[in-house]
A and B are shown apart, each in its own frame.
Chain A
């Protein structure tokens, strides 16, 4: 039903011209006037975006939105989170219901070019995998021939799944559900032999099962899933702000600036750090932000490494290793252009 509502909303907003009006005046001034960033996020994916009993969201995607609020308002709480299913998310963004999507969204060519959207970076390098019951006794996705696979529809997941079984000339049965919750419930009730989604999601969903240790994640990663924040076409300034908020968190980790030591860093002699914290040069103003924008991000939210460890890494129940998400200096793929 939600889908129908957002689809109707996108139709209505397109017909009434809301989208274009926003692009012309610029989103950042509007957000400042509104006093809050609206951030489209997952309705509940442990480690990425998950509300607690009080309705406070936590997660790696959530912290990106908090970092934006910190850079704009100097207050990480000035975010309104809009939980969106994977099917509704683009319509909601296109319709202007949210300022950005920070919702485990895979960057693909067709999404970048034909949906009227721009990807502002990659905050998590992911890949699709499979989870099965341990008692099936299989150790590889290549042994899944003939299996029934549960999948949440409306994602690239269905496409990757079909590609994988086609490429390996295996038969399978797909059972697609509109929401992630229904999918994992159907898997648990035995409707399917395997459950597939991005591997980060597999670990998160496994925690929801009655006996998580009865299930294993198979080693095969069958797709590239670079996940990142998304904005609408037509507002380059807002794209810059989102892009550099993410880059600032990466640069902070690379420069060794943490939540704890960022105040000492204000006195640093290192020119790179001085530019970062805003004691040298004016790097915030061209974006429409204050010059201590990056300082605020680290002070109030933390650098990328801290955010990762707290939400999905060693400091969380998920315990996902840094792997591809380590900095480029440590053998990973995370790399940010310099602030200068």
Chain B
């Protein structure tokens, strides 16, 4: 401080010591220094102690052979040759899979229940209320155990599999779906499907512009259905049905062939979806109630029916209230997916913080990586939700 030239002090004022601005900087610097020192000493202490106790440290284990198996994997992984690093990705992808599907499903279910609770239909609104009150007030872990047993217990063993339409089989090892195999020329169908999606989006944008300009409405839903579903199916027939299916069949203890959907995954997804939907329903209800009654009355006065009133007038305004708490529910769902460990779903915590941690013994590194991953997932989710929030925010002129 002594280096600061005295000219900066205005004549007639007290010394630098009493300048609130300078004092503020000094306090903030001191706080930063204390926090920095604490972090540094904790880290260096941990390293010294790890060395003193001859506990291995560092991230060298990442490339070591893992030597164990995981049942549900989205990337190739086997006991022969895969590394701990690959085990990490297997767990991470399983976490992202259940979290992303869970977010989509719980949003739909949550909006439905939230709107239903405000319905003028007495039975529907009471049912929605009971759903919300029951689901929200029971611990998620208990619900997961319930779903796991509810999914597992009534199902038969593989030899007595329940036969479902289209060659799918259901038993206590999971749901087995026919596995589609692309024959020659089959990729045309995939391309048609992708082009259909792009064309639908372009058409929707165009239709909206047209409506804003002329007021004319187009059947966007039907045309999108035609482009995305009917057209590829037509191509499938024209090209001579180049997609064949491998059907699951009983072989030994289990089934062979087909795509297996594991009961652990289904139980976790059901648990997370129904639980989070309970919270989202309340968020949606709060958002809708925040829109003043005058808006609905104005829409009714214009002759809009209940459906369009909700869709075009109420929900768009409610979204401004809904999005921020909705984001935190998405984050909760992602973090809650780590309870998978209790019912044997191989998510990041189960595979990485469980088996890998135990086999390598490197708790500090493994736990730090896992924390960093959840932090990253949460921050990325928040980032996109904030962008969406900005788009939905009230445009002030």
Counting chain A residues whose Cβ lies within 8 A of the other chain, the interface size class is 35 or more
Whether A32 sits at the interface, judged by CB under 8 Å, is no
A15-B69 CB under 8 A given contacts A176-B350, A189-B149: no
Cβ-closest chain B residue relative to A183: B344
Contact among B149, B252, B358 with A154 in the assembled complex (CB-CB below 8 Å): B358
Q: Kindly specify which of A143-151, A214-222, A300-308 makes contact with the partner chain.
A: A143-151
Distance of A186 Cα from B173 Cα, bound (Å): 11
Q: Which residues does chain A contribute within 8 Å of B67, judged by CB atoms?
A: 159, 162-163
Distance of A153 Cα from B360 Cα, bound (Å): 13
Distance of A20 Cα from B52 Cα, bound (Å): 7
Q: Which residues does chain A contribute within 8 Å of B123, judged by CB atoms?
A: none
B344 touches A14 (CB 8 A): no
CB proximity to A under 8 Å, residues B242-298: 251-254, 256, 263-264
Total interface residues in chain B, CB < 8 Å: 50
A16-B367 CB under 8 A given contacts A115-B361, A162-B68: no
B55 touches A94 (CB 8 A): yes
Digitize B198-209: 1 where CB-to-A-CB distance is under 8 Å, 0 elsewhere: 000000000000
B344 touches A175 (CB 8 A): yes
Q: Which residues does chain B contribute within 8 Å of A162, judged by CB atoms?
A: 67-69, 79
Contact among A114, A153, A165, A175 with B354 in the assembled complex (CB-CB below 8 Å): A153
Contact among B54, B69, B251 with A233 in the assembled complex (CB-CB below 8 Å): B54
Q: Which residues does chain B contribute within 8 Å of A175, judged by CB atoms?
A: 71, 264, 344
A173 touches B359 (CB 8 A): no
Whether B363 sits at the interface, judged by CB under 8 Å, is yes
Whether B9 sits at the interface, judged by CB under 8 Å, is no
Q: Which residues does chain B contribute within 8 Å of A111, judged by CB atoms?
A: 361
A191 touches B53 (CB 8 A): no
Q: Which residues does chain A contribute within 8 Å of B157, judged by CB atoms?
A: 190
Distance of A142 Cα from B363 Cα, bound (Å): 36
Cβ-closest chain B residue relative to A114: B56
Contact among A182, A186, A232 with B53 in the assembled complex (CB-CB below 8 Å): A232
A190 touches B152 (CB 8 A): yes
Contact among A15, A161, A166, A178 with B46 in the assembled complex (CB-CB below 8 Å): A15
Contact among B70, B152, B354, B367 with A178 in the assembled complex (CB-CB below 8 Å): B354
Contact among A3, A20, A115 with B353 in the assembled complex (CB-CB below 8 Å): A3
Cβ-closest chain A residue relative to B148: A186
Cβ-closest chain A residue relative to B360: A114
Q: How far is the CB of A20 from chain B (nearest CB, A)?
A: 5
A234 touches B355 (CB 8 A): no
Cβ-closest chain A residue relative to B339: A1
Cβ-closest chain B residue relative to A156: B359
Whether A230 sits at the interface, judged by CB under 8 Å, is no
Q: Which residues does chain B contribute within 8 Å of A182, judged by CB atoms?
A: 342-344
Whether A174 sits at the interface, judged by CB under 8 Å, is yes
Q: Which residues does chain A contribute within 8 Å of B263, judged by CB atoms?
A: 191
Distance of A3 Cα from B344 Cα, bound (Å): 15
Distance of A172 Cα from B350 Cα, bound (Å): 19
Cβ-closest chain B residue relative to A108: B359
CB proximity to A under 8 Å, residues B25-74: 42-43, 45-46, 48-50, 52-56, 67-71
A146 touches B252 (CB 8 A): yes
Whether A228 sits at the interface, judged by CB under 8 Å, is no
Q: Which residues does chain A contribute within 8 Å of B53, judged by CB atoms?
A: 19-20, 23, 94, 116, 232-234
Distance of A191 Cα from B345 Cα, bound (Å): 13
B355 touches A166 (CB 8 A): no
A158 touches B43 (CB 8 A): no
A178-B254 CB under 8 A given contacts A19-B49, A189-B149: no
Q: How far is the CB of A10 from chain B (nearest CB, A)?
A: 5
Q: How far is the CB of A7 from chain B (nearest CB, A)?
A: 5
Whether B172 sits at the interface, judged by CB under 8 Å, is yes
Whether A91 sits at the interface, judged by CB under 8 Å, is yes
Q: Which residues does chain B contribute within 8 Å of A174, judged by CB atoms?
A: 68-71
Whether A177 sits at the interface, judged by CB under 8 Å, is yes
Distance of A166 Cα from B81 Cα, bound (Å): 11
Q: How far is the CB of B145 from chain A (nearest CB, A)?
A: 9
B251 touches A190 (CB 8 A): no
Q: Which residues does chain B contribute within 8 Å of A81, judged by CB atoms?
A: none
Cβ-closest chain B residue relative to A15: B42
Whether A155 sits at the interface, judged by CB under 8 Å, is yes
Whether B153 sits at the interface, judged by CB under 8 Å, is yes
Q: How far is the CB of A194 from chain B (nearest CB, A)?
A: 9
Q: How far is the CB of A181 from chain B (nearest CB, A)?
A: 10
Whether A253 sits at the interface, judged by CB under 8 Å, is no
Which one of B49, B153, B359 has the highest number of Cβ atoms from chain A below 10 Å of its Cβ?
Answer: B49
Q: Which residues does chain B contribute within 8 Å of A153, judged by CB atoms?
A: 350, 354-355, 358
A14 touches B364 (CB 8 A): yes
Q: How far is the CB of B33 from chain A (nearest CB, A)?
A: 19
Q: Which residues does chain B contribute within 8 Å of A191, judged by CB atoms?
A: 152, 172-173, 263
A146-B254 CB under 8 A given contacts A174-B70, A182-B342: yes
Whether B346 sits at the interface, judged by CB under 8 Å, is yes
Contact among B49, B68, B80 with A17 in the assembled complex (CB-CB below 8 Å): B49
B153 touches A189 (CB 8 A): yes
Whether A90 sits at the interface, judged by CB under 8 Å, is yes
Distance of A172 Cα from B52 Cα, bound (Å): 42
Q: Which residues does chain B contribute within 8 Å of A154, judged by CB atoms?
A: 354-355, 357-358
Whether A11 sits at the interface, judged by CB under 8 Å, is yes
B343 touches A20 (CB 8 A): no
CB proximity to B under 8 Å, residues A99-127: 110-111, 113-116
A176 touches B344 (CB 8 A): yes
Q: How far is the CB of B59 from chain A (nearest CB, A)?
A: 14
B354 touches A163 (CB 8 A): no
Given contacts A20-B52, A153-B355, A234-B53, 8 further A-B contacts (CB under 8 A): A7-B363, A86-B358, A114-B55, A146-B254, A158-B68, A163-B79, A183-B344, A190-B157
In the complex, the 8 A-B pairs of residues with the closest C-beta atoms, listed nearest first: A162-B79, A116-B55, A116-B53, A146-B252, A114-B56, A15-B42, A154-B358, A115-B361
| Contact surface of B with A, Cβ cutoff 8 Å | 42-43, 45-46, 48-50, 52-56, 67-71, 79-80, 149, 152-153, 155, 157, 172-173, 251-254, 256, 263-264, 341-344, 346, 350, 353-355, 357-361, 363-364, 367
